[in-house]
Amino acid sequence: MKKIIILFLISASLYSQITNITKTAGIHERNATWSPDGEWIAYISDKSGTEEVWLMRPDGSSKTQLTKAKHIDSGAYRYELLWSPDSKYLLNSDNARNLNLIDVFAKTERTISQSKTFAIRDFNWANDNNWVAFSVQNPQNIKIIYLHSLKNNKTYQITTEFYNSYNPVFSKCGKYLFFVSDRDFNAKINSLEWNHAYLEMSKIYAICLQNDIPSPFMDFIDYNEPPIEEKKLSKKEKEILKNADIIIDLEDIESRIFALPIPVANYSNLQTTDKKLYYVRDNILFSFDLEDLKEKEVGPYTSYKITPDGKNVIFRSEKDYYISKTTEKFNAKDNKLDLSNLKMNLNKKEEWEQVFNESWRHYNQFFYAPNMHGVDWINERNKYSELLPYVTHRTDLTYLIGEMIGELNAGHCYVSGGEMPEVKKTGIGLLGIDLIYDSAAKMYKINKILQGQNWDPTLRSPLTEPGLNVKTGTYIVAIDDNKLNYEINPYSHLVGKVNTIVKLTLQYANKTENIFVKTIANETQLRYFNWVEERRRIVDSVSDGRIGYVHIPDMSASNGLNWWAKYFYPQVRKEGMIIDDRYNGGGNVSPMIIERLRRVMSMAKIGRNSETVMTLPNAVMTGPIVCLINEQSMSDGDMFPFQFKDYNLGPVIGKRSWGGVVGIYGSLPLLDGSSIHKPEVANFGAKSANWELEGVGMIPDIEVDNHPAKEYEGIDEQLIFAIEKVFELMKTNTKPQVPSIPEYPIKR
């Protein structure tokens, strides 16, 4: 779905009025934010040829450029904007790791902090327009909160480097700074091995900014003293108090941290009003009343923004947006924003030119090597831009950008998406089988039934469900009473029947039978599982159960790591192991797997009446290991065999890997909703101090190829060689083995 990134003004009246206030098709305008006084809208625009901060009136008039890069082709990518409460300043961060302060009326910009790791994306203002709180991640990956004073232009660290602290937000009264911090250490023990993980660690904490302010939860009452009547302030006195400078006592400030009485969980998106602190906990929005010190659930909202006066809120509920009063419960019934008329007339030629230029800039701003691999990047833009007038479809633009970024000769240079006609897809119900046409019988025969694990919805094989007892070689005569014949594809009778019950008429041994089965939508995981199981059984059969086999499809935590765990732990006590990294799609978990493979047994242990000797550490492979790779071992699948060899875990066998190891973080928003991925973070060897693998791949210790014809017949030559190699290495294995139980001591 296309993302329209043009500035619109939407009124939250009874009749939602939508106004396009910039009317630009070939300019990317984003991160619009209204000034607290309602007089201005600040936004980021590339009208000048690079990302700059602009200002305009709410009616679209008085457009003014506030910032200006030293050179149009060297400007940094700018992220979000944040107004000061008095509408005089803006905070803005960029990919050069700067946190910048922009004086709106003087049109000046200065850097108030710079990170040495990642961009500073987490910052907030105090009500007095002087103090700024922000977090910076240090080289040890710990986020630290700092305060910056505009008056004296100084920055102060206020949280320790021992705990992650982030999302700082000032209370409106100026007494507290709230923030999220990971300070609760409660280890969870891995169910597969004796190992630990820290999952939920965070709570919301606060700092008393003045040293004479007690924690609101320390309520000391002297019953001998008469109660002090609270003086009611006039409106003028409240205004003076609201705009007064906040005094922050920096000495021993960290000793004044206290925790809110809320559970340990995952917290985000802290915002304050005069009397409440709002926050998201595990995808639910809560408020904490700063007067009665009680927490209340607001609703299932994670995306929300409170107005500067604290009276109103815009929030998202599912796919819709609402504006509500900041009452006890946000109103998700009325005041829904009608975005149905959020439309504009596009000049696609102008839009495509802008996307082309911004894609070029993203590489100029984010590509890991500042020298652009020696490529004259400005010249490449000029060369390929000559073809822009001939682009007549979004696929033409994708091809053009792809050819341009391909000049950098780097992996992970991806361009995709964009506005194209939507093609409505109709699913086909699948049965988890291979069908062949038996010309002699003139019927379709089940040549193979994929084995599944039917307790897992992603690995359900319909014809192996309990009670069906369908065998290979059975004929399918009809589907839903549609008789099958050679002229018509059998799957045509399963169109639009995904995850539905269908009737199959089967014939075997001159007998006809009707069965009912529930189809599946996709066979990818099922076929992968069968591919893995076929190889595991080959290894198990040839080695007489002595060698284990583990295939890792990718290096993602949500898939590859799970397949690794399913197969590694049950086979860890075998005499040797084959780690199959072929066809690995990459990710980032290879160090976790390598850590397990590097374990060496130090001790053994035995318990009373146990016949099994356990190892310390547990889950340790005491036999030889080999690693299989091929041309489609990619990205972190390249990195895995490099580490495998670097730690001398065993030989790497197969064909040279893909050779793309400069990592990506994801795409930034583009005007037409398309994606452009930039290789941003590169790897170099700790021992060699040279760039490794990129453009070369991992060269195996032993090159073994799979002949295509033999592979088609089911003969995996690389796997067979790996089995032979493990047997050979068993003869010279020097790893500590599980010892026999020694004589029990006599102590008398």
Quote the Cα angle for 429-432-438, to 5°: 100
Which range (224-238, 619-633, 634-648) has the least confidence? 224-238
Q: Which residue has the higher pLDDT, 12 or 209?
A: 209
Pairing of strands 652-654, 625-629: parallel
Average pLDDT estimate for 526-541: 97
User: What is the per-residue pLDDT across 701-715, written as a single tens digit (0 to 9) for each?
Assistant: 999 999 999 999 999
Contact indicator for 523, 451 with CB cutoff of 8 Å: no
* pLDDT score of 232: 59
Question: Is residue 405 within a helix (H) or strand (E), and if so which, with residue range?
Answer: helix 394-406
Which residues, 6+ apart, have CB-to-CB distance to 551 below 8 Å? 531, 532, 535, 563, 567, 580, 582
Q: What confidence category does residue 558 fall into, taking pLDDT thresholds of 50, 70 and 90? A: very high
Pairing of strands 433-438, 443-449: antiparallel
Which range (22-36, 448-462, 545-559, 725-739) has the least confidence? 22-36
Alpha helices in 548-666 (DSSP H): 560-571, 590-597, 636-646
Residue 740 has a CB neighbour count (10 Å cut-off) of 7
- On the question of pLDDT at 239 being above 70, the answer is no
Q: What confidence category does residue 3 fall into, taking pLDDT thresholds of 50, 70 and 90? A: very low
- On the question of pLDDT at 582 being above 50, the answer is yes
User: What is the per-residue pLDDT across 485-529, written as a single tens digit (0 to 9) for each?
Assistant: 999 999 999 999 999 999 999 998 889 999 999 999 999 999 999
Contact indicator for 633, 639 with CB cutoff of 8 Å: no
- On the question of pLDDT at 583 being above 50, the answer is yes
Share of the chain above pLDDT 90, in %: 84
Q: Which residue has the higher pLDDT, 146 or 192?
A: 146
* pLDDT score of 222: 43
Residue 13 has a CB neighbour count (10 Å cut-off) of 9
Global confidence as pTM = 0.90
Contact indicator for 432, 462 with CB cutoff of 8 Å: yes
* pLDDT score of 509: 83
* pLDDT score of 16: 61
User: What is the per-residue pLDDT across 34-84, written as a single tens digit (0 to 9) for each?
Assistant: 999 999 999 999 999 999 999 999 999 999 999 999 888 888 999 999 999
User: What is the per-residue pLDDT across 344-391, written as a single tens digit (0 to 9) for each?
Assistant: 888 999 999 999 999 999 999 999 999 999 999 999 999 999 999 999
- On the question of pLDDT at 218 being above 90, the answer is no
SS3 content of the chain, % helix, strand, coil (to 5): 20, 30, 55
Average pLDDT estimate for 102-119: 96
Q: State the residue for tokens 């149009």.
A: 72
- Give me the chain's average pLDDT, please: 92
d(CA 593, CA 586): 13
User: What is the per-residue pLDDT across 116-161, written as a single tens digit (0 to 9) for each?
Assistant: 999 999 999 999 999 999 999 999 999 999 999 999 999 999 999 9
Quote the Cα angle for 635-641-646, to 5°: 125
* pLDDT score of 8: 54
Q: What confidence category does residue 337 fall into, taking pLDDT thresholds of 50, 70 and 90? A: confident
Closest by CA position to 473, among listed 448, 450, 451: 448
Q: What confidence category does residue 237 fall into, taking pLDDT thresholds of 50, 70 and 90? A: very low
Contact indicator for 498, 428 with CB cutoff of 8 Å: yes
Closest by CA position to 271, among listed 243, 257, 290: 290
How far are the Cα atoms of 23, 73, 164, 326, 504 from residue 26, in angstroms, in the given order?
10, 18, 42, 38, 56
Rounded to the nearest 5°, which phi and psi values hold at 519? -75, 170
The total number of residues shown for the chain amounts to: 748
* pLDDT score of 220: 42
Average pLDDT estimate for 722-745: 95
> Which residue type does 550 have?
V
d(CA 685, CA 556): 23
User: What is the per-residue pLDDT across 250-298, written as a single tens digit (0 to 9) for each?
Assistant: 999 999 999 999 999 999 999 999 999 999 999 999 999 999 999 999 9
* pLDDT score of 223: 39
- On the question of pLDDT at 24 being above 80, the answer is yes
* pLDDT score of 4: 39
User: What is the per-residue pLDDT across 157-177, written as a single tens digit (0 to 9) for each?
Assistant: 999 999 999 999 999 999 999
Closest by CA position to 6, among listed 673, 660, 552: 673
Q: Which residue has the higher pLDDT, 638 or 235?
A: 638
Pairing of strands 312-317, 304-306: antiparallel
Pairing of strands 312-317, 702-703: unpaired
* pLDDT score of 334: 78
Share of the chain above pLDDT 70, in %: 94
Pairing of strands 547-551, 64-65: unpaired
- On the question of pLDDT at 471 being above 80, the answer is yes
